[in-house]
Structure 1
Amino acid sequence: MASGAGADGTVGKALEVLDRVAAHGRPVRFSDLLAESAYPKATLYRLLQTLVHQGLLTQDDATGSYRPGLRLLRLAHAAWATASLAPIARPWLDTLAMETGETVHLAQLDQGQVLYVDKRNAARPVEMYSSAGKVGPAYCTGVGKAMLAFLPPAALPGVLARQSFHRFTPATLDSAEKLTAELAEIRTRGHAFDREEHEPGIICCAVPILTRGGRVIGALSVTSTTARSTLETLAAGAGRLREVAAQIAAAAEDWQFPEAG
């Protein structure tokens, strides 16, 4: 990541450091950041202080540790309101959650990964990885595969190169070749599955959200567990999912979203 950030100069380096602080999910000390950083001690300190001065990081006076700053909340809210499908899709997510009684996810593609932008919990909630604002892998989630399958052919190799293919479960697709074959099947049938590929016991059916021109702007899924549903049952609702996705896409046509991938 450092090489890519270096190509963007100081701004890229500072954003990389910001990403690293956020990835810890807790206040993090300078020594911990230095141990994993490719930057010299003086450079890392200067970048951290710049981020603190700009309100993007906060430094605890007592411990010296760093955590994301409140300015990020303002920026995140602005991005959610203007670059996210979430405000547009809210009523359809509410309706779909009531109809199915299951967990509903809304996601977009960000740098080749899944960004969950909204979620409705099931009538009987189940603990799972996803939550609004979290980033997940694209190659082993239903929403991720639904979006990857409908990317322009020229864009797909670059996005596949960003996948880690870490094996989360025995069902995880662990190579670009296996994923590419499945993406072809998804394009044919129009919907994707998560067959316990990211988390044991969690299954879903997902569809892409496409503009009239066929551009991927997001994905929608209904997620359940193997204890109370099956892939066949979820697949039976794929038509309704596609209908809702089309309604969301129609409402979003006048908005300008970042290009997928």
Structure 2
Amino acid sequence: MARGAGDGTVGKALEVLDQVAEFGRPVRFAELLADSNFPKPTLYRLLQTLTSQGMLAFDPDRNTYSPGARLMKFAHAAWSQSTLAQVASPHVQLLSEATGETVHLAQLDSAQVLYLDKRNARQPVEMYSQAGKIGPAYCTGVGKAMIAFLPEDEAADVIGQQSFHVFTPTTLATADALQEELVDIRANGYGFDREEHEPGIICVAMPILSESGRVLGALSVTSTTQHTNLAGLEQQVPHLRKATNAIAQAAKRWSFPDHHSQKTTTGI
């Protein structure tokens, strides 16, 4: 079931927004319909409503839909007010300078990884991750680092939503295999990506935790097997720990919501 399904008209509209965004380009009605859970009249009505509200933009010359200006405004507000990106930015930059490697900042978005920031290495390498992109949690360093430190029930829920698609020969292909690795990550305080999502791409990752132990996000130092190995990346753990601690303190001063107080005050 898609996220938002069963949540009435609002949930349906958000599902359509997700669908348009996932194409990564202006998309025609026929393309949306071919991949939609909704009948043609419902999809058309939702698209018309979203367009009239400025959440989508319609190009009459090409007959395509794309994210609208109002949606961009909301996205910018969410980015600056509801993620670690703003307060973490200087510490992400310092970590990149200290290691000379690519650095990623991420948070969990439902059961997936949302990349919030990326600073390239001194010698940039092409890879999947980019700020604003969604990635799998079970086969990325930042994803595993965050899952490992979630409360048991939340971790079980996230693990239950993983696809366990095998990207490479080292991808963790089952929930049991992932659970075994999470034990090691909790014991060490950090984990690795062993070319599990992309061949040749490796990383060491660490969660960003609040004082109460709530998972706020994760940081990773990423490189390639041509440039270094896991033992080499493990030497960056002190830099990584310094950065995650600094971001946690900055988030505290910024009043980043604590898990327990969030439930109490907002009902979420």
TM-score by shorter chain over 0.5? yes
Counterpart CA distance in 2 for 1:230 and 1:5 is 41
- Counterpart code for 2:192: F
Counterpart CA distance in 2 for 1:97 and 1:256 is 24
Task: Write out aligned runs for 1:27-46 (5 A).
Answer: 27-46=26-45
Q: In the alignment, what sits opposite 2:95?
A: 96
Offset at 1:63?
2.1
Counterpart CA distance in 2 for 1:6 and 1:216 is 27
Residue deviations 1:48-93, cap 9 Å, x none? 0111011111111112111111222211111111111111111111
Please say if 1:211 is aligned against 2:176: no
Decide which moves more: 217-226 or 21-30: 21-30
Q: In the alignment, what sits opposite 1:26?
A: 25
Question: What is the SS of the residue equivalent to 2:17?
Answer: helix
Counterpart CA distance in 1 for 2:69 and 2:44 is 20
Residue deviations 1:177-235, cap 9 Å, x none? 10011001100011010000000000000000000110000000100000011100111
Counterpart CA distance in 2 for 1:233 and 1:203 is 11
Please say if 1:256 is aligned against 2:262: no
* Contact 2:99–2:239 (Cα < 8 Å) also in 1: no
* Contact 1:21–1:66 (Cα < 8 Å) also in 2: yes
Offset at 1:243?
1.8
- Counterpart code for 1:95: L
Question: What is the SS of the residue equivalent to 1:154?
Answer: helix
Q: In the alignment, what sits opposite 1:234?
A: 233
Q: In the alignment, what sits opposite 1:111?
A: 110
Cα RMSD for the two superposed structures: 1.4
* Contact 1:141–1:194 (Cα < 8 Å) also in 2: yes
Task: Write out aligned runs for 1:112-131 (5 A).
Answer: 112-131=111-130
- Counterpart code for 2:181: E
Q: In the alignment, what sits opposite 1:178?
A: 177
Task: Write out aligned runs for 1:134-173 (5 A).
Answer: 134-173=133-172
Q: In the alignment, what sits opposite 2:16?
A: 17
* Contact 1:83–1:258 (Cα < 8 Å) also in 2: no
The number of equivalent residue pairs is: 259
The runs of 5 or more residues in structure 1 that have no matched partner are: none
Task: Work out the percentage of aligned pairs sharing the same amino acid.
Answer: 60
Structure 2 CA distance for partners of 1:258 and 1:113, relative to 1, 3 Å: farther
TM-score under structure 1 length normalisation: 0.96
Offset at 1:256?
3.0
Please say if 1:86 is aligned against 2:76: no
Residue deviations 1:20-53, cap 9 Å, x none? 1111111111111111112111111000011101
Residue deviations 1:144-173, cap 9 Å, x none? 000000000111111111111101111100
Q: In the alignment, what sits opposite 1:244?
A: 243
Decide which moves more: 218-227 or 37-46: 37-46
Decide which moves more: 66-75 or 208-217: 66-75
* Contact 1:113–1:138 (Cα < 8 Å) also in 2: yes
Question: What is the SS of the residue equivalent to 1:148?
Answer: helix
* Contact 1:217–1:257 (Cα < 8 Å) also in 2: no
- Counterpart code for 1:29: R
Question: What is the SS of the residue equivalent to 2:239?
Answer: helix
Counterpart CA distance in 1 for 2:94 and 2:249 is 17
Counterpart CA distance in 1 for 2:68 and 2:135 is 23
The runs of 5 or more residues in structure 2 that have no matched partner are: 263-268
Q: In the alignment, what sits opposite 2:265?
A: none
- Counterpart code for 1:225: T
